[in-house]
Amino acid sequence: MITALRLWPPRRWLTAALFGAGFVLLIAVPTDLIDTPIFGREVPPTWWAWPSLLVSSVLAGVLLASYVATPERTVTDRTATRGGWVGSVLTFFAVGCPVCNKLVLLALGSAGAMTWFEPVQPLLQIAAVILLAWALRMRLLGELSCPTTTEEVHA
């Protein structure tokens, strides 16, 4: 995997940095980790919210950049894409306010959000990081594999 990253041109690294910064904003603004007048938060953020968001944003940024300027598709594209999406959504739920999330409130109510959902949030973040890292690994290993054509696969 490190070999694949070493082969990346500066354009891909710039893309990774921009996507990573965008990911931070996309998650931090609606979860009110970055205070704005539009969104509020009833429960203060946990001590691990920012570090875990930054880890997820680095992984998501590099993962998204792996799709830039790669003309060949790899066998792992579909599963890696799903892992990236699921990991990103889990990060949103993990760092968000447990009682501010309308889906959680509808499913569990405010007492259930604090009693059942809040203790699970660190596990959601761990799952998010694992999925994002797995998806990135699949993409990078796919870049190093030998390309095949469909005729070779079906022969």
Decide: pTM greater than 0.85: no
Give residue-wise pLDDT tens across range 19-47.
999 999 999 999 999 999 998 888 899 99
Q: Which two tokens stand for residue 86?
A: 């699921």
CA angle 101, 41, 16 (to 5 degrees): 75
Give residue-wise pLDDT tens across range 101-146.
888 888 888 888 899 989 999 999 999 999 999 999 988 887 766 6
- For residue 2, the Cα-to-chain-centroid distance in whole angstroms is 20
**Domain-by-domain residue ranges, the chain?**
17-34+42-144
Q: Are 7 and 70 in contact (CB under 8 A)?
A: no
Nearest to 31 by CA among 124, 109, 115, 127: 124
Distance (Å, rounded) from C-alpha 8 to C-alpha 131?
22
Give residue-wise pLDDT tens across range 41-65.
888 999 999 999 999 999 999 999 9
